[in-house]
Amino acid sequence: MSGLYSTLNVAIRGMNSQQTAIDVTSHNIANANTDGYSRQRALMETTRPSTTSTGQLGTGVQVSSISRIRDTYLDYQVRTENGTMGLYQGREKFLTEVQSIFNEVSETGVSSMLSEVFKSWSSLSTSPESSNTRTVVAQKSKALTDQLNSTYNQLSKLKVNCQDVIQKDVVDINGMLDQINDLNQQVIGVKVGGNEPNDLMDKRDLLVDQLSSKFGITIDKKTLAGEDLKATDNVGGADPTKDLYLVKSNPNDAVSRFSYVSTIVPKIVPPATVASQKPGEAGSYDVTYYKNGDTSTDANKVTMTMDLTPEQYDSLDQGRVILADKKGYAIDKNGIRLAGNDSNKNPIPLTDISGSAIATGTSYELFEPKTGELNGYQSVQTDIDTYISDLNNMAKAIAYSVNAVHSGESDADKDTRKFFVNSTDGKEEEITAGNIAVNGDILNNVMLINAGKGSTPEAYDGSRALAISKLKDVKLNIQGIGTKTTRADLLKVNTFSNDTTLGVMMVNSTSDGMTISGDFTDIINRIADKTQYAQKTVTNNTTLLAGLEESRTSISGVSLDEEMANLIQFQHAYAANAKIISTVDELLDLIVNGLKK
């Protein structure tokens, strides 16, 4: 009797185990199209045998665990390539827009307009007495300045758009980190109960995959399947010897988050109505950031006053992401909260960026990863600033050289009839691509254009107009122009002397200079090179990631054919165990009821 009951128990265990395997297979089939799902397997093992006079006798089977099939090395490779892909996708997106802004494939591009301007001056030299040729010079020049203004403004708007994307990324990243932290704690709780939290770990891994496209991450596996998640390659002011923990198994609140810097405004000190310095210059700034990047309410707004050098201003302006504690308050490299109140509502002393204690500054830590979308958006802002600066330098070179020949003066202060001015105050100082304009007096009266040798516009020999047209071939020291460079500074390098052939003062070439059109072509070529490199890298990484994902899917993905084959196998095993139970039932009936006969 004990033998039959033992056989009955073996069959029951077998049925239960096969039922569990069928449940797992059913779960796999149901999640065949679920993102991030890893196929699961019921791992079976023999139960403890019983000892008989003839030796050990098996007692059946049991499911030891339900585990997911996952290759952690492939996960690491995918996440590394996700970071590279995110970096160059971000760069490609905005660099392609930069190319569209310059619009050099059309007749309305800056290159074409530059050529038209110099041609109009050449035409004026042959008909200096004609108001029509003078009008063409004025209008062609105005079209050029309008295009430079438009290009400058569009680049500036594109930079703002890029910063908006960074802000949205900061919100998304903080949200993902909070979700990963919650899942981490749930995983640990399930493991403490002795079970396998497969589905929870799949959700966590999917979020980590998505996060890896934002910036580089490192994962430390902990006991009970908990994970510590760190940011890698954090440069900027952060101490490279210290780990930047974003998720921790224990304690789970000693972690960093990110906040977004919305504005960097020169500080106005009463009774002044304007700041003493312009954006980008060394000085004191009011820096406003939103905790955790959430700009939906002013309750998240925090304003810090800090002293910045030009380099620090550019770094903060282009980076925009600062380290914060879990509540979103800015922290220094030691994790100490800044620019607000601590948990005891006590004001925190302010320090400058170097850490020295002063009354009007705040220490902060920029987050500047070396990979991922954030790096792509941060680095492309540097590119945009460079292109804007290059355009500004070119605008200065155009204005300074044309104005000098037009007036015969190397000193802008002595020039009473400038051809190009800045639209803000009608002067030559602080000309940029964004404000360069043709002198309004000349637009209203084209006969004020100086075309001949004489000092008055009425000199109709055309020599001065011809000299200006020849500026297209003059190599100017454009690469040496900066924000403070004046006309006199440029002409010290290029020199300004009398052209004996034309009889007017002329700007001379410098051996290491560039023509205006050559300088602009160089800008366009650099944009094209960077854009093409980003596009090629995205294409290559798409192929590489596809291969890695295919490898990972072959291991972790659900194959419906395989699952159906397994289902049939488990079905037959279940039926066979049921048959054993039926057979034992018949034997028991024979033994019990057969004795009556």
DSSP-assigned letters across all residues of 112-174? HHHHHHHHHHHHHHH-TT-HHHHHHHHHHHHHHHHHHHHHHHHHHHHHHHHHHHHHHHHHHHH
Please say which residue of 502, 525, 548 terminates a domain. 525
Q: Verify that 97 and 63 share a domain, yes or no.
A: no
pLDDT at 334: 72
Domain shared by 501 and 394, yes or no: yes
pLDDT reported for residue 346:
43
Same domain, 421 and 505: yes
> Is 108 part of a structural domain of the chain?
yes
Residues contacting 589, CB < 8 A, separation 6+:
none
By residue range, what is the domain housing residue 24? 2-69+560-594
For the ranges 73-87, 236-250, 275-289, the one whose mean pLDDT is highest: 73-87
Co-location of 21 and 62 in the same domain: yes
Residue where a domain stops, chosen among 504, 525, 546: 525
Q: What does pLDDT average to over the chain?
A: 88
Of 101-115, 190-204, 505-519, give the lowest mean pLDDT range: 101-115
> Is residue 266 in some structural domain?
no
Q: Is the pLDDT reported for residue 339 higher than 70?
A: no
Domain end marker among 525, 540, 575: 525
Rounded Cα gap, residues 458 and 454, in angstroms = 8
**Residue 555 within any structural domain of the chain:** no
| pLDDT at residue 335 is higher than 80 | no
Element (H, E) at 270: none
256: its two tokens: 């960093």
What's the confidence (pLDDT) of residue 240? 47
> Is the pLDDT score of 336 beyond 80?
no
Mean pLDDT to the nearest integer, 413-422: 92
436 & 570 share domain: no
Per-residue model confidence (pLDDT) at position 348: 44
- Shared domain check, 565 and 482: no
**Structural domains counted in the chain:** 2
Residue 359's pLDDT band, with cuts at 50, 70 and 90, is very low
DSSP character at residue 298 = G
Mean pLDDT throughout 246-274? 86
By the 8 A CB rule, do 328 and 299 touch?
A: no
Q: Do residues 478 and 401 share a domain?
A: yes
Kindly state whether residue 482 falls inside one of the protein's structural domains: yes
pLDDT at 340 over 60: no
Are residues 502 and 390 part of one domain? yes
Contact between 87 and 561 (Cβ < 8 Å): no
Distance between CA 175 and CA 208 in Å, rounded?
Answer: 12
Residue 475 lies in a domain: yes
**144: its two tokens:** 């050029």
Residue 219 confidence (pLDDT) above 90: no
For residues 477 and 416, membership in a common domain is answered with yes
- 14 and 124 share a domain? no
Q: Does residue 80 lie in a domain region?
A: no
CA 369 to chain centroid, in Å, comes to 9
Please tell me whether residues 116 and 151 are part of one structural domain: yes
Token pair recorded at residue 171: 């919100």
Measured N-to-C along each axis, helices 198-212 and 72-102 cross at an angle, to the nearest 10 degrees, of 30
**What pLDDT is stored for residue 36 in this prediction?**
93
Residue with the larger pLDDT of the pair 458 and 474: 474
Residues 470 and 503 in one domain: yes
Is residue 402 pLDDT above 80, yes or no? Answer: yes
- Secondary structure (H, E, C), 246-265: EECCCCCCCCCEEEEEEEEE
Q: Distance of CA 506 to CAs 90, 129, 207, 401, 503, Å?
A: 46, 22, 65, 9, 9
